[in-house]
């Protein structure tokens, strides 16, 4: 019998998108993984314009089917696929930036958005657990009975949505940590 070591990836919501990380040339994934002494890499699966699916269109405040730019990726941590990640943008917002290229440069897409004048002011995230599709199970190399977590994030500049991030994460490889102040 073999027992696989279960090293969870800790997703720290309060720190991962801090501007000081982008200024230091670190994208959110790099911050989390390197903090734990692990390695990561991203595999770009698709770059280009696609018709906006309804859920993305609603969040990005465009019409369903309107062209949006997608960065479709698979993220690997310690040589294990952990996340399928699609970032959607309004094409005008990313045209002429490294967001449309394989390598986005130091600090990732959020650094490029801010360089283009879209200062990030807030993020929303939704999480939901479910069983994977056969394609997701293959893409994440999941064992039988392992659930996934859907994570949908919207990044804003002021009141304007500038990115819709739709991700499927291996449920047995992540822990989500949230820290926030109590509100009166």
Kindly report the average pLDDT of the chain as a whole number: 89
End-to-end Cα separation, the chain, in angstroms:
53
Q: For residue 115, is pLDDT > 90?
A: yes
Name the architecture of domain 9-177: 3-Layer(aba) Sandwich (3.40)
Does residue 153 register a pLDDT over 80? yes
What is the pLDDT at residue 118? 96
The domains of the chain are located at 9-177
| Strand 9-12 versus strand 40-51 pairing type | unpaired
Rounded Cα gap, residues 37 and 60, in angstroms:
35
Residue 9 pLDDT class (50, 70, 90 cuts): confident
- pLDDT above 60 (res 28): yes
């Amino acid at each position: 019998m073999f027992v696989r070591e279960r090293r969870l990836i800790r997703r720290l919501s309060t720190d991962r998108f801090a501007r000081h990380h982008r200024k230091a040339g670190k994208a959110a994934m790099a911050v989390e993984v390197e903090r734990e002494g692990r390695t990561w890499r991203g595999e770009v699966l698709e770059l280009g314009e696609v018709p906006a699916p309804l859920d993305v269109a609603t969040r990005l405040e465009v019409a369903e089917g309107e062209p949006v730019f997608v960065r479709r990726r698979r993220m690997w941590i310690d040589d294990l696929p952990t996340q399928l990640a699609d970032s959607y943008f309004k094409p005008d917002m990313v045209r002429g930036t490294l967001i449309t290229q394989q390598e986005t440069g130091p600090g990732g897409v959020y650094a490029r958005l801010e360089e283009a004048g879209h200062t990030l002011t807030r993020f929303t995230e939704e999480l939901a657990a479910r069983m994977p599709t056969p394609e997701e199970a293959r893409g994440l190399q999941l064992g039988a009975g392992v659930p996934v977590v859907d994570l949908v994030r919207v990044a804003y500049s002021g009141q304007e949505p500038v990115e819709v991030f739709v991700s499927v994460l291996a449920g047995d490889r992540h822990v989500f940590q949230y820290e926030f102040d109590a509100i009166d």
